[in-house]
Structure 1
């Protein structure tokens, strides 16, 4: 069921890792080394991937490399959103991949790439097709972010919120499907690039979109799916029941599963972006998920 695991999500983005708690990523580095080694011991056949960088930053990767963070990893991942948040042109994708390849011998995966329909669906339609032209055959994995728009009643996972101005609201328009499940213009092109192209779809605790998402993934010809198992959610009542339900529903796909989000009670600060007080507990969570689902 699980072909790859990712350790954290966007660790060089303050929306996902608290730089004030761990400004030099020393705790993060030690945490990933411990967890990667533990997962390798539990299941050596699983591909182990560094959480996707956002922004794409060779200096950040070099810092981790010097601390030995990559020693038990099989790939590194990058995230890019050049038509929404990044300060580079969509046609620079091959250059961005090459920059990372220049500082590591590990394969580079693109585990999130997406374009919002905040301004117009036609922008996403163009952007998807151009992205596919640039990345197909260039990297081992591409996961489009995402299948569904984020429901407007929810909050985007970001520390900036409305301080981002209109950039904040782009988070809610990244799907190739509207919130209600109706397709956007780009959806009709997606199956042209499957099964090589995968989807990244995060499922929230008790997410009502799980079953219809599976139907859409089948319809689009998707074989590779990236999602997450939240350490913070693991401490909720009935968490195991929900995890079992989600993983059972997704068992037909080749899964890349991200382990992230610190439980408030386990963080140096009470926030899901905080480094944990005890990094062994994160490693233990990763191993428990491997035992149960891999």
Structure 2
């Protein structure tokens, strides 16, 4: 390996850990474990459905600053609130496809200082994550993600799509 190649090589280690609202002690323990393992990047799920549960906004008010103080955070935003889905389940497309973009806009406005990237949905090809039987042509999903990506970019964020 050439000297210039050695100088530019860095190793970044990341991990996935999803926390449920109210798991304060689990987050503190995870941060200690991440530090001990030398892990500097964390991908975590942020439930759109949970946003409407009492206490969840306060949970995220605590979670984002707490995590970003120790690791680079990649939030993955998913799970339709059942009350606004075509069917009453978190994997359903929302009746109003723009509602997901509105949620992304809200989350970036409120917490965007704590992350550079956003992941728009997770494993949409997994029926548990996104019920594609309600959207065989993937038209609804594509519109929903396109609108969300547009607002994320307008807010200065980079986007990626889970596979």
- Pick the TM interval, shorter chain: 0.5 to 0.7
Which residue number in structure 2 is paired with residue 92 of structure 1?
Answer: 99
User: In structure 2, how many angstroms separate the alpha carbons of the residues matched to 1:71 and 1:78?
Assistant: 18
Q: Does 1:64 align with 2:63?
A: yes
* Within-5 A mapping of 1:71-82: 71-82=69-80
Match of 1:130 among 108, 123, 143: 143
CA contact (8 A) 1:49 1:76 kept: yes
Which residue number in structure 1 is paired with residue 159 of structure 2?
Answer: 141
Match of 2:26 among 25, 28, 31: 28
Match of 2:47 among 50, 54, 57: 54
Which residue number in structure 2 is paired with residue 12 of structure 1?
Answer: 20
CA contact (8 A) 2:91 2:131 kept: no
Q: Which is helix-richer, 1 or 2?
A: 2
CA change 1:98–1:4 in 2 (3 A) is farther
Match of 1:110 among 103, 119, 128: 119
Which residue number in structure 2 is paired with residue 210 of structure 1?
Answer: none
User: In structure 1, how many angstroms separate the alpha carbons of the residues matched to 2:144 and 2:13?
Assistant: 23
Aligned residues: 125
CA change 1:99–1:112 in 2 (3 A) is same
User: In structure 2, how many angstroms separate the alpha carbons of the residues matched to 1:120 and 1:132?
Assistant: 13
* CA displacement at 1:62 relative to structure 2: 1.0
User: In structure 1, how many angstroms separate the alpha carbons of the residues matched to 2:27 and 2:70?
Assistant: 12
CA contact (8 A) 2:100 2:148 kept: yes
* CA displacement at 1:63 relative to structure 2: 2.6
**What value does the CA root-mean-square deviation take over the aligned residues?**
3.2
* CA displacement at 1:52 relative to structure 2: 1.0
In the superposition, the TM-score normalised over structure 1's length comes to 0.35
CA change 1:86–1:133 in 2 (3 A) is same
In the superposition, the TM-score normalised over structure 2's length comes to 0.57
